[in-house]
Amino acid sequence: MEKKSNVNMVMFDLIKGIAMLFVILIHSGNMAQTDSYLTVLMRSAMVAVFFIASGFWLRKRKVKTGVRMSAQQLLIPYAVSLAIILVIGFAHRLITGEMQNFLDLFLLPVLKRGAGPRTGALWFLLAMFWAWSMFYLLMRLKDARLRLILVAVGAVVGCGLLPLHDYTYLLPQALLMLPYIYGGYLIREKGLFDKKVPAWLLILLSVPALVLAAFGKIDVIMDVADFGLINIIAQLLFGYVLIYITLLINAKEWKFTDWIMEIGRRSLWVLCIHSIEMSVFPWDILWKFVSPDTILGTLVQFVIRLAGIMACCYGLRKGQTLLRKVKKQQKRKGKAKEQ
């Protein structure tokens, strides 16, 4: 029987918001092309954080039920966002007479892999769908030790499959992310976020990731997983520390964190909107006025991106509220007619 945790879903909004802000920042200017120590460390850590958080809330379910729920939550947003990107990309290249560019950068990578250089961060949703599905399969096993062995072996196999790149449809990435998801599940089962952890232990748990980031990185979408399973375990520990610290901050109920938590609350929307604007927005116009290689250029693009994404989220939320009101009114009218 699973233990009940005192941590609720809202408490994760802060770390998810911070992670989304970092994702948007890392994609601004030319930061994604830099391999500075901080960039390498946080890029790996934020991916780990998202998958740990998702694993924390997963439950044992029938495989069919779990896969269906995963598809509804992840594949539908993935498919809708991907369709928008492909339609806009096709229309633009058709007008400009660059159809080969559309094939090379948009269509063929998607057909070969499920994601590509013009699909932004959508790879994350597809990889998470596979990883969730694997989790539900894994939980059919009653032997906890066997589960751990399979998760570890799967991660090693995933590292070996990364160089294949095409026609794997992000399954290797999912195998590498499964330890984070299962780790999140175990954290909840053991109540590790409910226990008081001393500062010295938090520092000790962070050391492996802090050291390994100086010598290698995990960037699964670029088919890089230096040190393989060792680095994955290090990032799992570091991800736990980061989430634990943000839960402590969240307990303080500081007002300045409210807007970050709102971003975390809409993280799925933010990810999809960000992927779309990354792929189809003409950012070249901005680079005529400021260089993407400068701090100013990076910050300007980050601010514009964030403002645009939050405006879209606001519009979607208003539309969602309006749709609910319309549905309620229709139900009331239907009941009135029956009476």
The label of the residue with tokens 């970050």 reads 260
Euclidean distance between CA atoms 279 and 303, whole angstroms = 17
Structure tokens at 306: 């964030």
Cα–Cα distances in Å, from 149 out to 152, 229, 284? 5, 12, 48
Structure tokens at 290: 């400021």
Q: Are 128 and 51 in contact (CB under 8 A)?
A: yes
- How many C-beta atoms surround the C-beta of residue 304 within 10 A? 15
The label of the residue with tokens 């909840």 reads 188
Euclidean distance between CA atoms 71 and 5, whole angstroms = 26
Residues (pLDDT < 50) of the chain are 1
Please give the pLDDT value at position 252. Answer: 67
Q: Which residues pair with 224 in a beta bridge?
A: 219
Please give the pLDDT value at position 251. Answer: 64
Single-letter amino acid, residue 279: S
- How many C-beta atoms surround the C-beta of residue 34 within 10 A? 12
Please give the pLDDT value at position 33. Answer: 72
Single-letter amino acid, residue 175: L
Euclidean distance between CA atoms 238 and 31, whole angstroms = 22
Euclidean distance between CA atoms 46 and 17, whole angstroms = 11
Please name the residues in contact with 55: beta carbons below 8 A apart, sequence gap of 6 or more: 135, 180, 181, 182, 183, 184, 185, 187
Please give the pLDDT value at position 339. Answer: 62
pTM attached to this predicted model = 0.89
- How many C-beta atoms surround the C-beta of residue 150 within 10 A? 17
Euclidean distance between CA atoms 183 and 53, whole angstroms = 9
